[in-house]
Amino acid sequence: MSANTPEANIAMQALRQRMAGAQGPRFWRALEELADDAHWRETLHVALPQLVALAPMDRRRFLKLLGASLALAGLAACSSPPQEQMVPWLRQPEGMAADSARFYASALACAGDVCGVLVETHMGRPTKIEGNPAHPASLGGSAPALQAAVLELWDPDRSQTPLHHGMPATWDDLFAELARLSRGDGRGLRVLSGAIVSPTLAAQRDALLQKFPAARWHQYEAAGQGQTLAGTASAFGTPLQPIYHFDQAQRILALDADFLGSMPGRLAYARAFARQRKPPQMNRLYAVEPTPSLTGAMADHCWPMSHDGVGAYARQLAGVLGVGGVGDANVDDPSLRAVADDLRAHKGRSLVLAGETQPRPVHALAHLLNQALGNIGHTVDYIAPMQAAAPDDSLASLCKAMDAGDVQTLLVLDANPAYDAPADLPFARALPKVPQRIHLGLYRDETARLCDWHLPMAHALESWSDLRAWDGTASIVQPLIEPLYAGRSAHQLLAAMLGQPMDIRALLQSRWHAGDDEGWSRSLREGVIADSATAPTNPSAVAASVPASTTSPSGELELLFRPDPTLWDGRYANNGWLQELPKPLSQLTWGNAALISPALAAERKLVNGDVVELRVGERHLRAPVWIMPGQAARSITVHLGHGRRHAGHVGDGVGFDANALRSHRAPWREGDLQLHATGERIELAATQHHHAMEGRAPVRAGTLAEYLHNARFLQPDEPATPPSLYPPKPPGEYAWGMAIDLNACIGCKGCTIACQAENNIPVVGEDQVRRGREMHWIRVDRYYEGSAQAPHTHHQPVPCMHCEHAPCEVVCPVGATVHDAEGLNLQVYNRCVGTRFCSNNCPYKVRRFNFLQYADVKTESLKAQRNPDVSVRNRGVMEKCTYCIQRIQTAHIAADRDGRAIADGEIVTACQAACPTQAITFGNIADPHSAVSKAKASPLDYTLLAELNTRPRTSYGAHLRNPNPALEDDA
């Protein structure tokens, strides 16, 4: 139809934009207007040169042709196709760079945190996300939700076009409706968003509230920072954001504070924490918590206690340390005294922190303790939060206003309160009372279905924005791809309402680097806006008194709410990677469970999967139980984010919706819980069924004291590797090997999902996981030692061991698994006939089999997500970890081209890159100076099942704990 030149495309685009929104009679009038406008006539000639050839042309004839030509263009404006040609270019001209990956720096808000990322694109398609080493909240590491954002982008269930009462509509229809609004002062206009972490969005909010003084803006996060900010407010008089410095802290007490698993800044915290656990220097972590967390699992001493018990513990400790005028200085609990002594002995190098789930007084106490221990300014700084905390009852007041009929227009920006509001807030019930309900979001979710307007939101990888990390560092979010569908960002929607230009990029540049193109491109390139971190304020005035906390009578059951470790508040429920990622500690996939303590299970005679009824007052819920070692005896934990009703094909109806028991006054805990067995049982999809090491010591563990006494204390007396009948293979230039430091592994499973993203690993679904057919190439095993009440937890990532004497290779009848000259154990998918003998013979069980057609080769958008350097495996084929052979080969090609050797650190495997604590080292073990050779030279290094003489190339650094000698009995 149109000439295929760039000019023609631009002109066509301009026409489409102009025509977008024109419908029926208006469409024709718009055509006439166009035809009469000299400027547009010119544009038309560029776009549709065929028309020019039809001279002389009267107006009537022109309109006829134009109408026919533009009829389709007008329709196409509903969902404009991306400008880039999305088909990978298979036959490239010689000399042109192959499909080499390009990385772009950006930032993503995910699971309550903001991280700088590097997005890998192939031919303009974002395929993989890595942490940005220059960004303080990532330092190169990445969390599961970050990795999975790329799958979210390509999710075929994303909403694609604006919907008005369920019927396709256009943005211009909406803008026309909104235009009526702009005539008033905003009375009856309410906006509801999640926590605002974008400075530009905050500015737009302020502008909106200025333009519409009678409007109100509400914020709601199902798993926000409310208690933390309120806690600093009650301690310092003003809400502040604590920033912890684990690199300075020698003694840490975590009061139900999961700084490794769910706190903002957790990746940076994990890095700093792990750095301090390199023997012979090790910090010491004490944790008290009602439900096991990644932090508790890493603790040298972890004491499970009830939610209120944590508060009581903090008060007793404060009493012993003479802080805050609370408690009794004469507590006769020896363990508590030992902790107090240890903290006191490390003034200025200790740290007490309280978790978001604890109430304000506990936060206040933690800040007071830090003040008393001289930690402020050393191990903890306080900065002004990006914005004043939204009052706790922000959503509550909105619901009240909606119920009272005070709200004429409600604009919901990327929030889903119809699903994640606590049960005591009648959001979903009150929403229909609002005459005009507009929802902007990635999915047509529960809230969208209750609104008369649903607008597709552009994904973070498709739009311009800016984000502030937890320490205030700002980054520009840049689009990596044109919006796949008709999505627009919240910025664009607000800009339209404000009458601002829609060019968000210009808005951002004028905000951060007005007139400074160089600075702008530097910020884009590096992913961090220089010197944007907030300076610490560190107030010294601390409120002297702490309100007494209430304690519930013992014996009563309590219900704890936690954001899901992978799905967070449910926003990632349609993400198959995150649904199938085993939850750290419980190893459950596809659904949640009520976590109960072994003692309670014994008392009520419950086993895993027994369905119980949980009843809090009038509200009740049926949930399967999961017995969790280390759970406080009478605490029951449920995770939010499950039981979605309209998440999409993947997430609908997985698990149960714990919001049904939640109240907005006490969002993290409900007392007075009734639990009744129903007699039903369901099978939960867990990936690990046996939790003891059975004396086989796959994880070697000891204490720092033992290590200091004899560094080789975990090495057997006789050589671990038996002799071999076969002559050793001649050493080549490269011998790839991996070392995994169990002392640094926090069990976050970032490696598992990074591997999944890098290696095109399919999602198999709940039923297949239940059958034990999950496909993850690197799994994180979790073992317990000691009592079930307060166990020691060990994490162990297990990729392919790349055995030098690989048992899998000898049994394959067709030679589909073979060894290469660099020591890699290769799997040749094309050759595999699927006898599965290799898996039977693998003592590490790291091989994964495509029992069915797991890879989705039908859905177009998912094809675009895949890494073009890795084959997609079909059914009947065995697969396993390759040490990211595609990255090794990329390095080989680069080195060969330059005529040099591959440098140490040049190859970074996907798991290694994602690991927030840098527990994984990879490289050339033929080079004694490489990082991996040095790691393997550690006296703590060992290989798994060395007695089988498989000679694995993957080795482990033993797990050390640093218990307090004064608490020896307990250790």
Contact set with other proteins (CB under 8 A): 688-696, 698, 768, 771-774, 779, 781-783, 796, 798, 807, 809-815, 831-837, 839-841, 843-845, 847-853, 875-878, 944-945, 948
Nearer to other proteins, 613 or 856 (CB): 856
Pairwise CA distance, residues 491 & 465, whole Å:
8
Strand duo 436-441 + 409-413: pairing: parallel
In the complex with other proteins, which residue's Cβ is closer, 665 or 696?
Answer: 696
CB of 723 to other proteins, least distance (A): 16
Task: Please state, in angstroms and rounded to a whole number, the distance separating the CA atoms of residues 458 and 462.
Answer: 6
Element (H, E) at 639: strand 635-639
Cβ 626 to other proteins shortest distance, Å: 17
Tell the smallest beta-carbon distance from residue 785 to other proteins (Å): 12
Q: Judged by CB, which is closer to other proteins: 259, or 784?
A: 784
Beta bridge partners of 673: 557, 616
List CB contacts of 450: < 8 A, sequence separation 6 or more: 418, 428, 431, 432, 437
Nearer to other proteins among residue 290 and residue 762 (C-beta): 762
In angstroms, what is the minimal distance from the CB of 773 to other proteins? 5
Q: How far is the CB of 583 from other proteins (least distance, A)?
A: 15
| Separation between Cα atoms, residue 945 and residue 846, nearest integer Å | 14
Judge whether 59 and 35 are in contact, CB under 8 Å: yes
| Residue 110: both structure tokens together | 């995910």
For residue 942, the minimal CB distance to other proteins (Å) is: 14
Q: Which helix (H) or strand (E) holds 129?
A: strand 125-131
* Secondary structure element (H or E) that encloses residue 379, with its range: none
Q: Which is nearer to other proteins, 64 or 875 (CB)?
A: 875
Q: How near is the Cβ of 590 to other proteins at its closest, in Å?
A: 16
Give, for 559, the enclosing helix (H) or strand (E). Answer: strand 557-562
Task: Please identify which residue in the block is written with the tokens 């049960």.
Answer: 423
659 or 950: whose CB is closer to other proteins?
A: 950
| Dist CA 947 CA 597 (whole Å) | 37
Sign, CA dihedral 790-607-564-617, equals negative
Q: Name the minimum Å distance from CB 685 to other proteins.
A: 12
Tokens standing for residue 85: 């040609």
Our CB check for other proteins shows the closer of 671 and 807 to be: 807
Of 851, 846, 882, 886, the residue nearest 866 (C-alpha)? 886
Mind spelling out the 3-state secondary structure of 801-854?
CCCCCCHHHHHCCCCCEEECCCCCEEECHHHCCCCCHHHHCCCCCCCEECCCCC
Asked whether 442 and 158 are in contact (CB, 8 A), the reply is: yes
C-beta separation of 130 from 121 below 8 A: no
Tell me how far, at minimum, the Cβ of 872 lies from other proteins, in Å: 15
359 CA to centre of own chain: 25
Q: Give the nearer residue to other proteins in terms of CB position, either 154 or 854.
A: 854
Complex with other proteins: residue 255 or 812, whichever CB lies closer: 812
The alpha carbon dihedral of 257, 259, 262, 264 has a sign of positive
Q: Which is nearer to other proteins, 54 or 810 (CB)?
A: 810
Burial 682-705 (b: 16+ CB within 10 A, else e): eebbbbeeeeebeeeebbbbbbbe
Q: Give the CA-trace dihedral at 722, 727, 733, 735, to 10 degrees.
A: -30
| 494 vs 769, beta carbon nearer other proteins | 769
Residue found under tokens 């220089």: 530
CB of 946 to other proteins, least distance (A): 12
Give the separation between CA 673 and CA 448, rounded to whole angstroms. 33
Residue closer to other proteins by CB (options 150, 877) is 877
Smallest separation (angstroms) from other proteins to the CB of 277:
23
Select 282 or 761, whichever has its Cβ closest to other proteins: 761
Q: How far is the CB of 770 from other proteins (least distance, A)?
A: 9
Residue 249: both structure tokens together: 């802290």
Nearest of 672, 662, 659, 661 to residue 550 by alpha carbon? 672
| Minimum distance from residue 879 beta carbon to other proteins (Å) | 11
Q: How far is the CB of 694 from other proteins (least distance, A)?
A: 5
Partners of 627 in the β-ladder: 596
Report the alpha-carbon distance of residue 753 to residue 746 in Å, rounded: 15
Q: For residue 701, how far is the Cα from the chain centroid? A: 30
CB-nearer residue toward other proteins: 632 or 808? 808
CB atoms within 10 A of CB 45: 14
Nearer to other proteins, 522 or 773 (CB): 773
Place of tokens 């107090």: 340
Give me the least distance between CB of 628 and other proteins, in Å please.
17
- The two tokens of residue 344 are 């006191």
Minimum CB distance to other proteins smaller for 713 or for 837: 837
Shortest distance, CB of residue 448 to other proteins, whole angstroms? 36
Specify the residue, 359 or 630, whose C-beta has the smaller distance to other proteins.
630
Q: Residue 873 Cβ, how far from other proteins at the closest point, in Å?
A: 10
Q: How far is CA 322 from its chain centroid? A: 40
Q: What is the C-alpha to C-alpha distance for residues 424 and 755, in angstroms, rounded to an integer?
A: 41
Q: The tokens of 844 are what?
A: 């590490």
Instruction: Give the sign of the dihedral formed by CA 321, CA 327, CA 328, CA 334.
Output: negative
Q: What is the DSSP string of 914-947?
A: H-TT--EEEEETTSTTSHHHHHHTSTTEE-TTGG
